[in-house]
Chains A and B, each alone.
Chain A
Amino acid sequence: LAKTTQPISMDSYEGQEVNITCSHNNIATNDYITWYQQFPSQGPRFIIQGYKTKVTNEVASLFIPADRKSSTLSLPRVSLSDTAVYYCLVGTLNTGFQKLVFGTGTRLLVSP
């Protein structure tokens, strides 16, 4: 399993764009990059998943460079409700079990 490294915490203000970068130097060819969001007292929630280039959904965008050794989660125009812990995970989409390893994540604090 590829190990991931992300900042422990980030601060932002409402209305700003937030970019959280995750490093995964040992990512394998079959690995996808997945991001989860966890609010206090709740379980993590799937945000976005990608393999290469750019993926966008209604919540966020995920940018993955050609070498795939890092990825950036982009949250456009954050609000107070985006205050949460964000986890970057790497794992294969092959069938058969492979556990997801959650690190300590990035704690994002959005202020007024």
Chain B
Amino acid sequence: NAGVTQTPKFRVLKTGQSMTLLCAQDMNHEYMYWYRQDPGMGLRLIHYSVGEGTTAKGEVPDGYNVSRLKKQNFLLGLESAAPSQTSVYFCASSEQGAAYGYTFGSGTRLTVV
């Protein structure tokens, strides 16, 4: 049982490039989330999904897009990367809404130069 798997684990992008981060969960969870964490700070919610085919904006959605075409996958896209998007990105899933235990992936460290 893998839980939540994020790919890739590391990536360096040039300003203006695009990329997609993949999150996959094998727990049949309804809810999935993308967070970013900057040095010395807590996690901030970028986008979330309450079920297959649905997405919604979190606290810091600008510059990102998401898709949930399959229940087990949640994709985070950066259309035109900026240095301000250098961060560690965490995906999470949960069986129900917030307050039930989230399961987090191990993160993707993204550097935009």
Contacts and interface: CB of A to CB of B under 8 A. Distances in A.
B98 interface: yes
A80 interface: no
A46 interface: yes
A102 B90 CA distance: 13
The A interface is mostly helix, strand or loop, or mixed, namely loop
Given A104-B41, A104-B42, A44 B99 contact: no
B82 interface: no
Interface in A17-65: 31-32, 34, 36, 41-46, 49
B74 interface: no
Contacts of B33: 99
B104 A97 contact: no
A60 to B, nearest CB: 14
A63 B38 CA distance: 31
Interface size class for chain A? Answer: 20 to 34
A97 B104 CA distance: 17
Contacts of A42: 104, 106-107
Given A41-B107, A103-B42, A105-B42, A98 B102 contact: no
Contact of A49 (B44, B99, B107): B99
Nearest to A100: B98
Contacts of B35: 102
